[in-house]
Structure 1
Amino acid sequence: MPVRTPPRRHQRPAAAPNPTVGTELELEVTGVAHGGVMVARHEGRVVFVSDAIPGERVRARVTEAKKSFWRADTLEVLEASPHRQPHVWAEASLDRDPEGRAGGAEFGHIELAHQRELKRQVVADALARFARVDAGGLEVQALDGDDDSSGTGWRTRVRLQVAADGTVGPYAARSHTVIPVRSLPLAAEAIAEIAPLATRFGDAASVDLVAPSGGRALTVVTTRDGSRPPAEAITERVGDREFALDALGFWQVHLRAAQTLTTAVQRAIDADAFDPRAANLDLYGGVGLLAAAVGDRFGQATRITSVESSEPATDFAARNLSDWVGARALTARVEHFVKGLAENATALERGRQRAATVVLDPPRSGAGRAVVDELVRTGPAQVIYVACDPVAFARDAALFGDAGYGIRSLEAFDLFPNTHHVELVAHLTRD
């Protein structure tokens, strides 16, 4: 008879897997949620469903089951929305098992005009819930040429992942599984031409493809130990101006995004409230794109300080902003830079801070309370907030609102067609 050793007291039996995961459900999809998924309910529980459209009835498989919500992937559309189209990326379509669908084009099965309507709904819902702001008249604007191309061919930067066997491709959605693909429909033509989709890589972890507007497209391979070739400087053109930056440095991805945001920021600034001698700021300034937008509108004597945590980006910003005698670029974390600005200022500096225009272009997580609280203590005349995440922006807008800064204008741009992402440019001033 086999002898069974009793478990030690500090050991617990392994938990049984959640029996709900893998279950297939028929769901009525009722709305859109932030993050590129749709909303349904099953026996009162919220289910976030991928690859669906509001108004559809779908068969979906549960992939995650938490107390507060479930996640599910669409397997079959039982009643289709009139806004459904063949997916722009064959490797991401419903024909594939969900685990084998390429990620990065989660709205590719939806007509472009309806994509923008869903994005508008997400923005309006976030502002209503977090900031108590009515964005009823907002429209998500398309960039020139995107409707003609069905929202493809716009990405000037693509990162491909490399699997353990050397296969290259994008990750599957919400996964680190590399999906081999034969096409990159969202990529600009110059990217598609150099994409090594059939290549096997040895010790590589990722492959970056970059197509700058001011030169040839290039490939940068990063190995599994994090090493890569020495940084190569590239040039991006916006109108008549050139910007130098590192090949893997931050730059807007859509080939027309930099010009769109330059114009939008210039339009958002109230010229009557702008003082070129004030302590104007460009926070999270990168290589100086938006500081240059301010300088180009208000002249070479404009004083503006661009603050960026990346030292290489700051070095490029100093070079890119050299046309303006009052411009400077500082390397610092924004939360550290703004801390104590008001408290340590002289009377003259406090006056310049109160007259300032602040351009704020934070990462996807938003600026956050630490930055907003310190910033409003300086009392700037106006804030131009550029946001790539509507929920993070709405939370920050609520903080600004509590300090007496309201949204005076808001524009939304579809800088990322066939994905759920949307870009906002807001003008905030004191009540």
Structure 2
Amino acid sequence: MGDMQGTEIEVEATNMAHGGESVARLDGRVIFVADAIPGERLRVRVTDDSKPKFWRADTVEVLDASPHRVPHIWAEASVDRDPAQRPGGADYGHIALGQQRVLKAQVLTESLARMAKVDRTVDVEALPGPTDGTGWRTRERLHVAADGSIGPYAARSHRVVAVADLPLAVDRVRDLAPLRESMPGVKSVQVLAPSLGDGARLVIDEQKPTVIRERVGMREFRVDDTGFWQVHAAAAETLTAAVQDAIDPTLFDEKAANLDLYGGVGLLAAAVGDRFGHGVRITTVESDARATEHAAENLADWLGAAVITERVERWARSLADVSASERTRLAAGTVILDPPRSGAGAEVLGAITTVAPAQIVYVSCDPVAFARDVALLAEAGYQLVGLRAFDLFPHTHHVEAVGSFQRA
């Protein structure tokens, strides 16, 4: 570390970076500042000066507040509290909700312009739920300190901090969360409230998974309580509709080799099937064996649905060896992509675009990875023809994008 660690300085935040921190500068050096809003003058404490090109800092005092600053949605994360004791998980909670969406849209727009040379404005759409952006998390992961106390991690650390409430959680999760209990010897506690069933449940550490059921519209999905499912109570239904809308029906061929990559328990493959009928052929590829086991049951309505358990990167390499007839079916196909935060990347996108599908629908939870992949798709001849963004994670910096791509 350098000699600025712990030093307090005055700075002005100029814009919002991807990751939830504002950007400030001191003598030409970039400083990423937590708990700030662009336009504010702040007293900040340097927390990391180890990098030559940028530092990190926590806001200690707001000297000139933005008109968009509001009391933090989570009392314990307030700027009045010692930064080391502020819980993570609500890094936009001090910003008025409408302005949060403006900033998220800017981050997505600026990422596309910088990395993909794409000029595209987008509105971040709200999901159904409380209008103040609380009460949406159906899953909360809490951690247990050495003394057995339970709470979230402090922001940007692995230190457990005490909180009185979980304002982003749905009521059933808030009611069951063991915030005042002690569980010595336990590492983590997940509290979740499936959409089917009356109550919430606790998952202690990585215990043997139990199957729960989630409802999306009129359809039910089997999923492990330890497995992946969208966290926002309205997210699965929102993404189902968004993916259905993003597919150009004039380019869709139900008998083609349609693909659902990083398919999980089959949510988006089912969205395609429900949009285009029971004759749809679609193959979902997912690395988690328990998830594909559930996907096989969740997609049983479609005789043409196939489920493959394999890492998408490895499976994509096999596309180079397909027969001429299969290549024709792939070229007529629609590809749905819902990769992890790191994005699909060059290897997967290169393999997909080599077989030249009719259209690609890309669901992204990271604007920078998405913008990088928009550029890769453009190089391969695929143009971004549609883009929507959704506020799946209110009071955090995260934003979900759904992009549609067609051959240019």
Which bin holds the TM-score, normalised by the shorter protein?
over 0.9
How many residue pairs match? The answer is 406
1:48 aligns with 2:25: no
In structure 1, the residue corresponding to 2:202 is in which secondary structure? strand
Match of 2:65 in 1: 80
Partner residue in 2 for 1:203: 185
Q: How far apart are 1:135 and its partner, in Å? A: 1.5
Q: Deviations over 1:199-229 (max 9, x none)?
A: 111210000011010113100111xxxx52x
Aligned to 1:212: 194
Name the counterpart of 1:131. Answer: 116
Q: Which moved more, 1:268-277 or 1:369-378?
A: 369-378
Which residues in structure 2 correspond to 1:177-196 (within 5 Å)? Answer: 177-196=159-178
User: Displacement, 1:145?
Assistant: 2.9
1:49 Cα deviation (Å)? 0.4
Q: Provide, for residues 70-89 of structure 1, a one-character-per-residue CA deviation record: whole Å limited to 9, x for no partner.
A: 11100010101000000000
**One-letter code of the match for 2:117?**
R
Partners of 1:307 and 1:336 lie apart in 2 by 10
Say if 2:109 is the partner of 1:109.
Answer: no
> What is the distance in 2 between the residues matched to 1:166 and 1:95?
27
Q: 1:35-70 CA deviation, whole Å, 9 max, x = no partner?
A: 000011011111100001001101000001121001
Q: In the alignment, which of 34, 53, 57 is matched to residue 18 of structure 2?
A: 34
**Structure 2 residue corresponding to 1:408, chosen from 375, 385, 396:** 385
Give the CA deviation at 1:328.
1.3
What residue is the counterpart of 2:124 in the other structure? 140
Deviation at 1:426, TM superposition (A): 0.4
Structure 1 segments of 4+ aligned residues over 3 angstroms from their partners: none
Superposition pairs for residues 276-425 of structure 1, below 5 Å? 276-341=254-319, 343-425=320-402
Find 1:165's aligned residue among 147, 153, 170.
Answer: 147
Alpha-carbon distance between aligned partners in 2 of 1:126 and 1:85, rounded to the nearest angstrom = 27
C-alpha deviation, 1:124, in angstroms: 0.7
1:11 aligns to what?
A: none
Question: What stretches of structure 2 of length at least 5 have no aligned partner?
Answer: none
* 1:400-423 deviations in Å (ceiling 9; x for gaps): 110000100000000000000000
TM-superposition CA deviations, 1:87-145 (whole Å, max 9, x none): 00011011211001010000000000000000011001111111111112x10011123
Deviation at 1:345, TM superposition (A): 1.7
Q: TM-score, normalised by structure 2?
A: 0.98
Q: Which residue of 2 aligns with 1:64?
A: 48
Which of 77, 81, 95 aligns to 1:96? It is 81
Match of 2:204 among 218, 221, 227: 221
Q: Distance in 2 between matches of 1:340 and 1:259?
A: 32
User: Partners in 2 of 1:338 and 1:379 — Cα distance?
Assistant: 13
SS at match of 1:243: strand
Amino acid at match of 2:349: V
CA drift at 1:378 = 0.9
Decide whether the 8 Å contact of 2:334 with 2:357 is kept in 1.
yes
Asked if structure 1 preserves the Cα contact closer than 8 Å seen for 2:287 and 2:309, the reply is yes
Does the aligned pair in 1 maintain the 2:149–2:184 contact within 8 Å?
Answer: no
- CA distance in 1 between counterparts of 2:392 and 2:120 reads 19
User: What is the alpha-carbon distance in structure 2 between the residues aligned to residue 57 and residue 76 of structure 1?
Assistant: 9
Out of 397, 405, 408, the position equivalent to 1:428 is 405
> Counterpart amino acid of 1:196?
P
Deviations 1:159-184 (A, max 9, x none): 00111111111111110111111100
> Structure 1 residue 122 and structure 2 residue 103: aligned?
no
Matched position secondary structure for 1:294: helix
Following superposition, the deviation at residue 295 of structure 1 comes to: 0.1
Q: Distance in 2 between matches of 1:352 and 1:264?
A: 25
DSSP-derived class of the 1:340 partner: helix
TM-aligned CA deviation for residue 329 of structure 1: 1.0
Query: Given residue 352 of structure 2, which amino acid in structure 1 is its aligned partner?
Result: L
SS across alignment from 2:187: strand
Aligned-partner SS, 2:321: coil
**How far has the Cα of 1:347 moved from its partner?**
1.8
Question: Which amino acid in 2 is paired with 1:38?
Answer: S
Distance 1:53 1:345 in 2: 52
Inter-partner Cα distance in structure 1 for 2:356 and 2:91: 41
Question: How far apart, CA to CA, are the structure 1 residues paired with 2:85 and 2:322?
Answer: 57
Mapped partners of 1:38, 1:95: distance in 2: 18
Please give the alpha-carbon distance, in whole angstroms, between the structure 1 residues aligned to 2:123 and 2:157: 32
Partner of 1:25: 9
Deviation at 1:231, TM superposition (A): 1.3
Output the CA distance in 1 between the equivalents of 2:18 and 2:272.
31
Measured in 1, the distance between the counterparts of 2:64 and 2:39 equals 8
Alpha-carbon distance in structure 2 between the residues aligned to 1:340 and 1:205: 40
Q: What residue in structure 2 maps to residue 3 of structure 1?
A: none
When normalised by structure 1's length, the TM-score is: 0.93
